[in-house]
Amino acid sequence: MAAKPASQPPVPRIYLATPPVADPATLAASLPTLLSAADVAAVLVRLAPSDERTLITRMKALAPIVQKAGAALLVDGHFELVARAGADGANLNGIAEMEKAMPTLKPERIVGVGALHTRHDAMVAGEAGADYVLFGEPGTDGDRPSTDAIAERLQWWAELFEPPCVGFAATLEEAGLFATTGAEFIMLGDAIWNDPRGAQAALTDASAIIAQRHRDTFGTAKGSR
């Protein structure tokens, strides 16, 4: 795994995680407008449990919309369905799942890895060819590291390693903090969907907060959006 050359980091791009999708129709209708509200690099589709055919149908309903907007569509888990659904990749939980998925997804599709509880786990994922590492997402019990611990892990990774890192932000305030770490992407989920102002207003606000905090920390970066 190559070390990262010293340079000024670009403004982090948003990685939007959906609520669990059972009926994609409502989300499909809102996505074009939503994705035009900010610089969204990727959408992570979380799927409500169902049979394999239904899961593929849900992803197929969303993939063209996301891709037409210039973003990548990844699915949370279910790596074996990615190709048939026309998705761009999968977000996987931990080293073991990544190792199972690699032969199916590589080299054509994106392999992202979360549930990396130690620095060693993250380095193993990077060495194995993960396209990004994700820090800060809640575990199955809902627990996650402290905001400061996540920011510290993002800064450590961003300063040293070449593969991109993603910080999961539970609030817009966290998104702003993570923008100061050098992370390439910030994942936002419930902070967008549960905002009483609506998802579009929240996403627009998040984008502005990320850009401002990045600018305050690093100045105006090359390639900033």
Whether pLDDT at 70 is above 70: yes
Evaluated on CA atoms 80, 86, 87, 88, the torsion sign reads positive
Burial of 28 (0-12, 13-18, 19+ CB in 10 A): middle
Q: Which residues contact 190 (CB under 8 A, 6 or more apart)?
A: 19, 170
> Whole-prediction pTM value?
0.94
What pLDDT is recorded for position 219?
87
5 or 133, which is more confident: 133
Calculate mean pLDDT across residues 98-126: 96
Is 38 in contact with 63 (CB distance < 8 Å)? no
Q: What is the DSSP letter of 5?
A: P
Is 137 in contact with 115 (CB distance < 8 Å)? yes
pLDDT band at 2 (very low <50, low <70, confident <90, very high): low
Q: What is the mean pLDDT of the chain?
A: 94
The pLDDT tens digits of the residues spanning 95-109 come to 999 999 999 999 999
The pLDDT tens digits of the residues spanning 147-190 come to 999 999 999 999 999 999 999 999 999 999 999 999 999 999 99
What pLDDT is recorded for position 142?
85
Is 37 in contact with 207 (CB distance < 8 Å)? yes
Burial of 176 (0-12, 13-18, 19+ CB in 10 A): buried
Evaluated on CA atoms 169, 170, 176, 180, the torsion sign reads negative
* Structure-token pair, residue 72: 């990548």
Whether pLDDT at 191 is above 90: yes
* CATH architecture of residue range(s) 13-197: Alpha-Beta Barrel (3.20)
The pLDDT tens digits of the residues spanning 71-82 come to 999 999 999 999
Domain chopping of the chain, boundaries: 13-197
